[in-house]
Chain A
Amino acid sequence: MAGNKKINKRDIGKLLNEWNQGFTVFVPSREDKVTAFAKWDGVNISFMEWHRNTVIPPKTNFFPLMEEMFSFREEEDGYHTELPSSDKHKQLIFGIRPCDAKALSILDMAFKEGYEDPYYLSGRKDSLLVALGCTNPYDSCFCASLGGGPFDSTYVDIMLIDIGDELLIEEVTNAGRELIARTAGLEKVTEVDEARAKEVKKSSYNKVTRKINTEGIQKKLQACFEDKDFWEKVSAKCLSCGICTFLCPTCYCFDINDDSFKKQGARFRSWDSCAFPIYTRMPMENPRSEKWRRVRQRVCHKYEFFPTDFDVIACVGCGRCIRQCPVNWDITEILNNLPAKA
């Protein structure tokens, strides 16, 4: 593709420094004992030596673990509320993987439809995604089965392809193009580079060995919705903790709670999980007090209900749920073994 550039991996620091002028740059980080995206410290580029995705998905940049919605205080003339400053500096997420970028587009749909969510959208607007394609997918990855792939550039602004000592830079959107146009220190790409990039993409795609069959999955799930025996069997070992939902890049359920002391406080939103028994608890009844209903809800929301509203499966195949689950509950096993109804 004419106009593509490349950069040597050694020079990534210079590149990020330049981009740091106009954006707050986030990179994969191991600083806090668990891999996640964190503000670049200006120096460390050791993340270039990793080959894998982070444990905590970059949804935290736009939908953080907890977020203040507004504050309130009681004064003599009654209550006053105040919104937090909406000064969300433009974010550049460097090294995001294609699956997580697709996940952000799914979150965009959820937070935009109907009433717009101001907290998520104010951060997301003007954000830039510079993706690093995956040359070394985990054996838990199954992005290829969901219309994506380790080098799927549909939802990113710039795609970086690791061709050895260098990264080939593919401009995808106008925003990406503009950024590259005003970035110095990039080299021109040769035909050999382009051939190598093509090879890397193909071999990486073939490394995604875990597969699910999504054909007709909505109908299949509708058909077995009432099959209590099936759902009880597949949910038996689930512990109803929140790991799969919290680490899932497309999960966006949240809780709203107040925190106050004396006459002032704030309302926060924080991550919640449909796997928790109290998620749907009302004073007199709880429609999902039984675990099999909650497991069914999780699977059906991602593969049946969300697609009904938005025409896309709310799962990107990142595999975090499979890797991090304490009992190795595996959604791909469930989806590949749905009961066949006559």
Chain B
Amino acid sequence: MINVDVSQRRKFFAHGNVYLPHVVTIEKIVEETYDTKTFYFNFKDKRLREEFTFEPGQFALFSIFGMGEAPFAISSSPTRRDHLECSVRQIGRLTNAMHRLGVGAEMGFRGPYGNGFKLDLFEGKNVIFVAGGIGLSALRSLIWDVIDNREKYGRMDIIYGARSPADLCFKYDLDTWETNEAINMITTVDRGDENWTGRVGFVPQVLEQVAPEPNDAVAVVCGPPIMIRFTFPVLEKLGFSPEQMVTTLEKRMKCGIGKCGRCNIGNLYVCRDGPVFTYAQIKNFISGEY
């Protein structure tokens, strides 16, 4: 049977209808890269502003009324709740429309959906974050949650890479994490430019070089599908078991609640049973279905 407890999320439904979005207003826009923006937004409804909560790793469906909806991870930290954030790469019809919005514009928001990261899986363990490109936005809420509760966790490694220096997202965060002594921050790019003095190399290769220890560790991976597919074998080689590898997946979504049928991997729906999965859960379907 299905193990989804939605009872406590019903209080975030608009008028008792799971498909009806709330209206949110954009408060600030940060240009991360030439094609990625982070939107800071808040509910128009005061009660929601105060009561809304979510777990790191959950996502929401954002609407541009008249255009459609798309899923984005809620990339702000659940512990810092004066606003919410999502990061959007400009890549299609809806995201192009989102990028044309300015501060003060309104969007639709419904969520939070998905299973989020189970923090008790990570407590007491060394956590290794492996992210690529905008994949970092899906892990960001977890990273900040771990930093804000640092004493509950062991070592913290972040390996982050992008195609080029111009594609690095959340540069302000990367700088902060670089200077944080409790974090081992490694940034890499696939190709450098004239000004780049840091590491050059694909994320899976850099991971292999850094070679984190698998004992008492959990690896959290997010990035383009091809990066994820190459990262899992590296982690296996380093001695991580499939239960020690966690990822958050992205699929085309419409309903976000496990009904419209399209985001499935086998009998698991990325929106309902995920988007956070362990490698153990999906490895039988990995070839081709993901």
Chain A positions within 8 Å of B, measured between CB atoms, are 69-70, 72, 74, 78-79, 81, 83, 110-111, 113-118, 225-226, 252-258, 260, 265, 267, 269, 272, 274, 279-285, 287-288, 293, 297, 300-301, 304-306, 308-311
**Chain B residues closer than 8 Å to A253, beta-carbon distance:** 260-262
Output the residue of A114, A267, A284 with the most chain B CB within 10 A: A114
Partner of B250, one of A260, A282, A297: A282
**Chain B residues closer than 8 Å to A285, beta-carbon distance:** 225
**Chain B residues closer than 8 Å to A310, beta-carbon distance:** 1
CB A234 to nearest CB in B, in angstroms, measures 17
CB B4 to nearest CB in A, in angstroms, measures 5
Given A115-B6, A309-B2, CB of A256 within 8 Å of CB of B259: no
Chain B contributes a number of interface residues (CB within 8 A of A) equal to 49
CB B257 to nearest CB in A, in angstroms, measures 4
Q: How many residue pairs between the two chains, A and B, have CB atoms under 8 Å in the bound complex?
A: 128
Partner of B260, one of A74, A118, A256: A256
Q: Look across to chain B and name the residue whose beta carbon is closest to the beta carbon of A77.
A: B44
Given A256-B254, A284-B224, CB of A83 within 8 Å of CB of B20: yes
Q: Which 7 A-B pairs have the closest CB atoms?
A: A260-B66, A253-B261, A305-B267, A115-B257, A283-B91, A308-B267, A72-B65
Q: Look across to chain B and name the residue whose beta carbon is closest to the beta carbon of A257.
A: B68
- A281 vs B69: C-alpha distance when bound (angstroms): 15
Q: In the complex, which residues 262-290 of chain B have their Cβ closer than 8 Å to any Cβ of chain A?
A: 262-264, 266-267, 272, 284-285, 287-290
Output the residue of B23, B262, B289 with the most chain A CB within 10 A: B262
CB A108 to nearest CB in B, in angstroms, measures 12
- A118 vs B15: C-alpha distance when bound (angstroms): 11
Q: In the complex, which residues 45-98 of chain B have their Cβ closer than 8 Å to any Cβ of chain A?
A: 63, 65-69, 91-92
Q: Could you tell me if A272 and B260 are in contact, using CB atoms closer than 8 angstroms?
A: yes
CB B176 to nearest CB in A, in angstroms, measures 29
**Chain A residues closer than 8 Å to B63, beta-carbon distance:** 258, 267
- A235 vs B261: C-alpha distance when bound (angstroms): 21
**Chain B residues closer than 8 Å to A110, beta-carbon distance:** 259
Q: At the interface, yes or no: B106 with Cβ under 8 Å from chain A?
A: yes
What would 25 A/B residue contacts be, using CB atoms closer than 8 Å? A70-B20, A78-B23, A83-B17, A83-B20, A110-B259, A113-B4, A114-B2, A114-B4, A115-B258, A117-B259, A253-B262, A254-B255, A254-B260, A258-B63, A260-B65, A272-B254, A274-B261, A280-B252, A281-B252, A282-B252, A283-B91, A293-B289, A308-B267, A309-B2, A310-B1
Q: At the interface, yes or no: B21 with Cβ under 8 Å from chain A?
A: yes
**Chain B residues closer than 8 Å to A114, beta-carbon distance:** 2, 4, 6, 257-258, 272
CB B190 to nearest CB in A, in angstroms, measures 15
Q: Could you tell me if B18 and A116 are in contact, using CB atoms closer than 8 angstroms?
A: yes
Q: Look across to chain A and name the residue whose beta carbon is closest to the beta carbon of B44.
A: A78
CB A112 to nearest CB in B, in angstroms, measures 10
Q: Look across to chain A and name the residue whose beta carbon is closest to the beta carbon of B250.
A: A282
- A265 vs B66: C-alpha distance when bound (angstroms): 6
Q: Look across to chain B and name the residue whose beta carbon is closest to the beta carbon of A283.
A: B91
Q: Could you tell me if B267 and A304 are in contact, using CB atoms closer than 8 angstroms?
A: yes
Given A256-B255, A257-B68, A272-B262, CB of A113 within 8 Å of CB of B92: no
CB A33 to nearest CB in B, in angstroms, measures 29
**Chain B residues closer than 8 Å to A225, beta-carbon distance:** 284-285
**Chain A residues closer than 8 Å to B202, beta-carbon distance:** none
Q: For chain A, what secondary structure do more than half of its interface residues adopt (helix, strand, loop), or is it mixed? A: mixed
**Chain B residues closer than 8 Å to A305, beta-carbon distance:** 264, 266-267
Q: At the interface, yes or no: B153 with Cβ under 8 Å from chain A?
A: no
Q: Could you tell me if A309 and B259 are in contact, using CB atoms closer than 8 angstroms?
A: no
Not counting A81-B23, A114-B4, A309-B1, a sample of 15 additional A-B residue pairs whose C-beta atoms are within 8 angstroms of each other reads: A70-B20, A81-B21, A83-B20, A225-B284, A226-B287, A254-B255, A254-B259, A256-B69, A256-B254, A265-B65, A282-B250, A287-B289, A304-B266, A308-B267, A309-B2
- A26 vs B68: C-alpha distance when bound (angstroms): 34
**Chain A residues closer than 8 Å to B224, beta-carbon distance:** 284
**Chain B residues closer than 8 Å to A115, beta-carbon distance:** 6, 18, 257-259
Q: Could you tell me if A118 and B16 are in contact, using CB atoms closer than 8 angstroms?
A: yes
Q: At the interface, yes or no: B177 with Cβ under 8 Å from chain A?
A: no
- A293 vs B265: C-alpha distance when bound (angstroms): 12
Q: Look across to chain A and name the residue whose beta carbon is closest to the beta carbon of B90.
A: A283
CB A97 to nearest CB in B, in angstroms, measures 24
**Chain B residues closer than 8 Å to A258, beta-carbon distance:** 63, 65-68
CB A295 to nearest CB in B, in angstroms, measures 13
Given A74-B65, A280-B252, A308-B267, CB of A79 within 8 Å of CB of B108: yes
Q: At the interface, yes or no: B150 with Cβ under 8 Å from chain A?
A: no
Q: At the interface, yes or no: B251 with Cβ under 8 Å from chain A?
A: yes
Q: Could you tell me if B18 and A284 are in contact, using CB atoms closer than 8 angstroms?
A: no
- A78 vs B285: C-alpha distance when bound (angstroms): 44
- A306 vs B289: C-alpha distance when bound (angstroms): 17
CB B239 to nearest CB in A, in angstroms, measures 26
- A236 vs B255: C-alpha distance when bound (angstroms): 31
- A260 vs B16: C-alpha distance when bound (angstroms): 24
**Chain B residues closer than 8 Å to A118, beta-carbon distance:** 16-19
Q: At the interface, yes or no: B14 with Cβ under 8 Å from chain A?
A: yes
CB A280 to nearest CB in B, in angstroms, measures 5
Given A260-B66, A283-B91, A309-B267, CB of A255 within 8 Å of CB of B254: yes
Q: Could you tell me if B288 and A287 are in contact, using CB atoms closer than 8 angstroms?
A: yes
Output the residue of B68, B257, B266 with the most chain A CB within 10 A: B266
Q: Could you tell me if A70 and B17 are in contact, using CB atoms closer than 8 angstroms?
A: yes
**Chain A residues closer than 8 Å to B14, beta-carbon distance:** 81
Q: Look across to chain B and name the residue whose beta carbon is closest to the beta carbon of A253.
A: B261
**Chain B residues closer than 8 Å to A117, beta-carbon distance:** 18, 259
